[in-house]
Amino acid sequence: MSMSTKLLDELRNLVGSENLLHKPEDLLVYELDGTIDRALPEAVVFPANTEEVQGVVHACNTHEVPVTPRGAGTGLSGGAIPARQGVIVGTARMRRILNVDPLERTALVEPGAPNIQLSEIAAEHGLFYAPDPSSQKACTIGGNVAENAGGPHCLALGVTTNHVVGMEVVTASGELEWLGSYGPDSTGYDLRGLFIGSEGTLGIATKVAVRLLPIPETVVTLLAIFDDVEHASETVSAVIGAGLVPAALEMMDRVTLQAAEEGLRCGYPPNAGAVLLIELDGIEELVQEQVQEARAACNKHGATEIRTATEANERTQLWKGRKGAIGALGRIAPNYYLLDGVVPRSKLVETMGEVSRISQKYKFPVANVFHAGDGNLHPCLLFDERDEGSTAKVLEAGAEIMQVCVDAGGALTGEHGVGYEKNRFMPLLYSETDLENMRRVREIFGNSGTFNPCKVLPEGTGCGEMAHQKGALQAAGPEAYV
């Protein structure tokens, strides 16, 4: 596809020449996000406001050119990859915190605002924004809305959809709409909830109204150390079974711990088989009771040591490794394939055994770091894409892990989204009738196939050219396409 000079001129008039990229050397950094698939756009535009977003969408629709929305590009399912080339609409210039209302405990922000910036500003009023992805310092609120992002502290408080009350959106057809309400309830169908997690296939959020929460009175973080993943997994079920719902319940295995400690110096035990990070918050007296219950569960299931952090700097140090774990794995291998599956907590031990088996079968080291409290696994397969055939092979391994998650009664994604990476696996969970109804929802928002194409749903012509999909499809097996 070759973009017309006329469309480039229209885009230049809309956003200014300094906010339009179309030279090949400028486009290279936009050919991928946080996963391993790649495709080069024909242009990237950076609108400054809602009106410019609307103008860009109308211009692209008129010329029948695909549009791919993009936040910070930290996504891990290929959601921001321009699968059919066309125009990437980046929200990097739309990053203002428009309003914080401490009385109503709400804020209105633009989609390009970094997640961490919202909590930093809200903290001035004794408030915070709950969803906190590990990429919190870079990822944006608009991207979080698109993927329904979660994070380590979403076990008790929920993910993005639980904290967004409404949005101004430019739909795929270029119409301007407000979805949701500042009130406690809104009548009719929940279009706000439908848009959240739609991965840029229904439109682009241009303003997002979010709910803020009071900063807890007391926060205590426990680091429980185990000889192996099995005992740590059993402890997860025991903690939840005791009636506790921690603010966070995270696990890291030996490979992850060693990489994080070597790269970040967090004070993790280098020879541990696994650790659990258990964070409890709330009223002082209640938290102290919960700490004792959590410690008892850890001791009962083989914890060799339990460390306690109550001061903010101590807790930050413990979380430093968890938040930076994926980057630290670069010390082991130049590339990684980070998966995102969900299984029932009762199946954690069994599933982790299968992940280890698949890792050994394909001869890829695996590092496990995941939201253990809600069964959201993040096995990270380490490889070197310079080795011939390694990319196709690692995708085959990933497909087998996804199949294991589904067979265990789980799901394809907990927070990273389906995107391009896993759209061909959707028939593992949904019938053709289900998928057709999802396609019809897109049409209602004006997406005829050119708005973030090839994402979420299995597609036909034009979506299979990226070779990274092929090995994964073969590994999924013929029953995936019945």
Nearest to residue 370, comparing CAs of 150, 71, 73, 142?
150
End-to-end CA distance of the chain: 33
Q: How far apart are CA 231 and CA 224, in angstroms?
A: 11
Mean local confidence (pLDDT), 269-279: 92
Burial 227-237 (b: 16+ CB within 10 A, else e): eebbbbbbbbb
Give the pLDDT confidence score for residue 370 in this predicted structure: 87
Q: How far apart are CA 113 and CA 95, in angstroms?
A: 4
Lowest mean pLDDT across 149-153, 196-200, 212-216, 443-447: 149-153
Give the pLDDT confidence score for residue 183 in this predicted structure: 74
pLDDT band at 474 (very low <50, low <70, confident <90, very high): very low
Q: How far is CA 319 from CA 134, 277, 313, in A?
A: 10, 8, 10
166 touches 94 (CB < 8 A): no
pLDDT band at 460 (very low <50, low <70, confident <90, very high): low
Give the pLDDT confidence score for residue 480 in this predicted structure: 39
Q: How far apart are CA 216 and CA 214, in angstroms?
A: 6
- Annotation: CATH topology of 218-329: Alpha-Beta Plaits (3.30.70)
Tens-place pLDDT, residues 355-373: 999 999 999 999 998 899 9
Return mean pLDDT, the chain.
92
Q: Same topology for domains 218-329 and 333-481, yes or no?
A: yes
Q: What is the CATH number of domain 333-481?
A: 3.30.70.2740
- Annotation: CATH topology of 97-214: 3.30.465
Mean local confidence (pLDDT), 82-104: 97
Give the pLDDT confidence score for residue 465 in this predicted structure: 52
Tokens 């970040």 locate to: 264
Q: How far apart are CA 37 and CA 469, in angstroms?
A: 8
For the chain, domain boundaries: 5-90, 97-214, 218-329, 333-481
Give the pLDDT confidence score for residue 462 in this predicted structure: 61
Q: How far is CA 287 from CA 91, 127, 221, in A?
A: 40, 19, 11
Q: How far apart are CA 64 and CA 60, in angstroms?
A: 6
For 5-90, which CATH class? Answer: alpha beta
**pLDDT for residue 15 is more than 70:** yes
Largest CA distance in the chain: 70
Give the pLDDT confidence score for residue 324 in this predicted structure: 87
Q: Does 322 or 47 have the greater pLDDT score?
A: 47
41 touches 82 (CB < 8 A): yes
Give the 3-state secondary structure of the chain.
Answer: CCCCHHHHHHHHHHHCHHHEECCHHHHHHHCCCCCCCCCCCCEEECCCCHHHHHHHHHHHHHCCCCEEEECCCCCCCCCCCCCCCCEEEECCCCCCEEEEECCCCEEEECCCCEHHHHHHHHHHHCEECCCCCCCCCCCEHHHHHHHCCCCHHHCCCCCHHHCEEEEEEEECCCCEEEEECCCCCCCCCCHHHHHCCCCCCCEEEEEEEEECEECCCEEEEEEEEECCHHHHHHHHHHHHHCCCCCCEEEEEEHHHHHHHHHHHCCCCCCCCCEEEEEEEEECHHHHHHHHHHHHHHHHHCCCCEEEEECCHHHHHHHHHHHHCHHHHHHHCCCEEEECCEECCHHHHHHHHHHHHHHHHHHCCCEEEEEEHHHCEECEEEEECCCCCCHHHHHHHHHHHHHHHHHHCCCECCCCCCCCCCCHHHHHHCCCHHHHHHHHHHHHHCCCCCCECCCCCCCCCCCCCCCCHHHHHHHHHCHHHHC
Q: How far apart are CA 120 and CA 224, in angstroms?
A: 29
Q: Are strands 43-45 and 87-90 parallel, antiparallel or unpaired?
A: parallel
Other C-beta atoms closer than 10 Å to the C-beta of 70 total 28
Give the pLDDT confidence score for residue 417 in this predicted structure: 95
**pLDDT for residue 477 is more than 70:** no
Backbone φ and ψ for 381, nearest 5 degrees, come out as: -85, 125
175 touches 141 (CB < 8 A): no
Task: Name residues whose C-beta falls within 8 Å of residue 181's C-beta, 6 or more positions apart in sequence.
Answer: 165, 166, 192
Nearest to residue 332, comparing CAs of 410, 413, 257?
257
Tens-place pLDDT, residues 249-260: 999 999 999 999
Q: How far apart are CA 118 and CA 108, in angstroms?
A: 10
The whole-model pTM stands at 0.91
Give the pLDDT confidence score for residue 378 in this predicted structure: 93
Q: How far apart are CA 374 and CA 392, in angstroms?
A: 30
